[in-house]
Amino acid sequence: MICVPGPVRARTFEYLGVDVDAGAGTITCRFRSGDDSFSEGAAFDPEVVDLGAPGVEQAAVLYCLLAGLSYYKAAAAHEVILGELGVGPASRALLAAAIDRGLAEFAYRNDLDLSDVSIRGGAPVARATVDAPASGPLVPFGGGIDSIVTVLTAVDADAALFIVGPSEQPFDAIERPARLTGLPVVRATRTLDPSVLGPRRTSRFDGHVPVTAMVSALAVVAALGQHRGAVVMSNERSASVPNLLVDGRGVNHQWSKSLEAEDLLRAALDECLEGGPAYYSALRDRSELWVASRLAESPAYLEACMSCNRAFRQDPAARATTWCGECDKCLFVDLVLAPFVDRAVLEAMFAGKEPIGDPASCSRLEVLTGLVDNPKPFECVGDVDECATALVAAASREDRADQPHLAALGARLGSARPLAALLERHGRSNAPVRDAARDLV
């Protein structure tokens, strides 16, 4: 029997630099992990995004810092060397948190302790003064219920969507609702070093990385290159709630959507940009139930949206064209929409495989609602309070009266919070206060 050795942690991971080519519309980031070198590219249409605009080089450094985690994870080095990148205390704090908390799920799944990682090197930050904004916000858009509701409730007609995706055969699950908005689309492509998907994968660590933080930094680059005043995210408050605690420390699949990550990136932007675009989430003080209630008011978007992860597989031939109805993301979305949307509509949406209507889903609903002491799935799903309230509200609907499994689960959730309470604002938000007459409550 041949024994195949598992991955081994490297001593160092190095940031070799980031190059911005305004003429070509490209950003190239270079890294080294032990004896392995990596290169990643991000590309924009130079006729649409001016990478020569003030502040782009500084924002590109933040993108490089965060994108590097896709390669850092290959060998989970003990020491990170910043080289000549311009990195101040706030940017360094962002990277340290992204390794410690943004990679917490990766570390948990691989039985790694990243608390010993040290960060050294780096050059002084050359702060840039940014031109006054000439147009409205940029909204990173993934086609799911959160980003759709941001477009419906929090931005005006001078906004644009920001989509990161493949240059060929884009994701229909994003393009379909994007067309419905009528807003212009600013696009970027991110090209990973092919070696991370190559034959050596078995000799490297693998796992979840804080992708939303990487997309956020690219969105700031695009906003600077279009002289836009803000990057408006769609991260609601339960994104800050960890999936589980390990030795008292949170492991959060959605860390890069959390308020902590938002605050850290805002501080890093303030450190390197004078007058740069604002960065905040429009949904930060909202629950997923509020988001679902707003989407339910727009049948066209309800029909167009699709958050099932199987729609975003890299291989176009393997992408789902409808909700699979089987994964935890489908189950959660169905659950939070159920209090507000007719059962028949949801059954059609899930092509006859509505997850909460299947008694076989009871064990997974017990997890989502906290009826069993299991961590919530490593997915972008809401917290226990939201799920428990959603289930009780759904079970009480007349069109669910012939689904006794929901009634039985609801009866066990007597302490669930009232639905009205979870439709109210709660918690801190960095979003500016909108005109009260237009701010949908």
d(CA 147, CA 150): 5
- For position 145, what pLDDT does the model report? 94
- For position 312, what pLDDT does the model report? 76
Q: Helix 362-369 to helix 328-337 angle, to the nearest 10 degrees? A: 70
Whether the Cβ atoms of residue 147 and residue 169 lie closer than 8 Å to each other? no
d(CA 86, CA 58): 8
Considering only CA atoms, which of 291, 302, 314, 282 is closest in space to residue 381? 291
- For position 127, what pLDDT does the model report? 95
d(CA 309, CA 329): 7
Q: Strand order in 230-233's β-sheet?
A: 118-120, 79-81, 12-21, 26-33, 36-43, 185-191, 160-164, 138-140, 230-233, 278-281
Give pLDDT tens digits along the chain (441 positions). Answer: 445 567 889 999 999 999 999 999 999 999 999 889 999 999 999 999 999 999 999 999 999 999 999 999 999 999 999 999 999 999 999 999 999 999 999 999 999 999 999 999 999 999 999 999 989 999 999 999 999 999 999 999 899 999 998 777 788 889 999 999 999 999 999 999 988 766 555 578 999 999 999 999 999 999 999 999 999 999 999 999 999 999 888 999 999 999 999 999 999 999 999 999 999 999 999 999 999 999 999 999 999 998 888 777 777 777 777 888 889 999 999 999 999 999 999 999 998 889 999 999 999 999 999 999 888 999 999 999 999 999 999 999 999 999 999 999 999 998 899 999 999 999 999 999 864 333 444
Whether the Cβ atoms of residue 237 and residue 287 lie closer than 8 Å to each other? yes
pTM of the model: 0.94
332's CB contacts (< 8 A; 6+ apart) are 368, 379, 381, 382, 387
State which amino acid sits at residue 329.
K
d(CA 311, CA 323): 8
State which amino acid sits at residue 187.
R
Considering only CA atoms, which of 326, 314, 39 is closest in space to residue 196? 39
Residue 30, phi then psi, degrees to nearest 5: -125, 140
Which of 330-333's residues contact partners 24+ apart within 8 Å by CB, and which partners? Answer: 330/355, 331/355, 331/356, 331/361, 331/364, 331/365, 331/368, 332/368, 332/379, 332/381, 332/382, 332/387, 333/145, 333/292, 333/307
Using DSSP's 3-state secondary structure scheme, residue 323 falls into: coil
State which amino acid sits at residue 270.
D
- For position 201, what pLDDT does the model report? 59
E strands present in 202-338: 230-233, 244-246, 249-251, 273-274, 278-281
What tokens were used for 202?
Answer: 């078995």
Enter the DSSP assignment of 31: E
- For position 437, what pLDDT does the model report? 34
Query: What sign results for the dihedral spanned by CA atoms 410, 413, 415, 420?
Result: negative
- For position 241, what pLDDT does the model report? 95
Q: How many residues are recorded in the chain?
A: 441
Task: Report the DSSP pairing between strands 160-164 and 138-140.
Answer: parallel
Domain ranges of the chain: 12-124+134-195+208-281, 288-422
Which of 366-369's residues contact partners 24+ apart within 8 Å by CB, and which partners? Answer: 366/409, 368/328, 368/331, 368/332, 368/335, 369/409, 369/413, 369/416
- For position 441, what pLDDT does the model report? 46
- For position 436, what pLDDT does the model report? 36
Enter the DSSP assignment of 257: G
- For position 248, what pLDDT does the model report? 87
Considering only CA atoms, which of 382, 420, 397 is closest in space to residue 345? 397
What tokens were used for 205?
Answer: 């660590």
Residue 161, phi then psi, degrees to nearest 5: -90, 150
d(CA 338, CA 331): 11
